[in-house]
Amino acid sequence: MPLLAARDIVQRFGRQEVLHGVSLGVEPGEILGLLGPSGAGKTTFVNIIAGVAEPVSGSVEAFGQPMPSLALMRRMGYMAQSDALYLDLTASENLGFFGTIYGLTGDALKSAAAKALETAHLRVEPRKQARDYSGGMRRRLSLATAILHEPELLILDEPTIGLDPLHRVDIWESFRKMAAAGTTLIVTTHVMDEAERCDRLAMIRDGVFIAIGSPAELKDRASAATLEDAFLHFARGEGGDGDA
């Protein structure tokens, strides 16, 4: 049974339909990548499955129960494409604020914050406000706030934007460790080397999933040497398999 199942999701903004009845199942413990160019519908889709937006039609279930649900959202972590931080607070103060939302206090909060910062590969200066962080540091602090409560399902929208190559590798190693420990991750990206690190990919273009499978499967079905070539193959309608 999928940990998360989205069925026949349609979303419109005004008269423009941006998701066209898409469906997707996410299995426990996998890293599922949503791969597609800017404007393909990745952010719209993850906003819906994270429970921060409602579709025009269709349904989402997480842990076998309908979304959106505040109780279920406490079992999930969500990192938006835009950093959701209080810039006039320090890293510790940001983590403290978000920790209290999830019922973390005292030593439990202190321990969780230290672990989250380590996982995000972020060393912080105690008195430095988030407004004085680089873009990459803010992204890593945003990740730390999303994983602070050790969610069972983690939804990440372009989590490595603004990170240098070394930090991107470090963060993906952290993702792999979380998955090995049982966390399910959904990650949007348009970067091919990140897509290669996913267990399974849902390729999306113009609000439709054009192919779904492991990176190796997709390249094999497209007779392509690279994921970029495979994406182009399916985007041209040459053997795409739609929703799954």
Average pLDDT over residues 78-107: 93
Q: Average pLDDT over the chain, rounded to whole?
A: 94
Find all residues with CB under 8 Å of 6, minimum gap 6, and list them.
22, 23, 24, 25, 45, 48, 49, 58, 59, 60
Residue 234 scores a pLDDT above 70: yes
pLDDT band at 15 (very low <50, low <70, confident <90, very high): very high
8 Å CB contact between 57 and 8: yes
Percent of the chain residues topping a pLDDT of 70: 97
pLDDT of 244 reads: 47
pLDDT (tens digit per residue) in 136-173: 999 999 999 999 999 999 999 999 998 999 999 999 99
Beta-bridge mates of residue 11: 19
pLDDT digits (tens, 9 = 90+) for 181-220: 999 999 999 999 999 999 999 999 999 999 999 999 999 9
pLDDT at 239 over 80: no
Residue 243 is predicted with a pLDDT of 46
Q: How many CA atoms lie within 13 A of 191 on its CB side?
A: 18
pLDDT of 57 higher than 50: yes
pLDDT reported for residue 238? 66
Q: Which domains does the chain have, with CATH numbers?
A: 4-75+151-235 (3.40.50.300), 83-135 (no CATH)
Q: Which of 158, 163, 14 is nearest to 79 (CA)?
A: 158
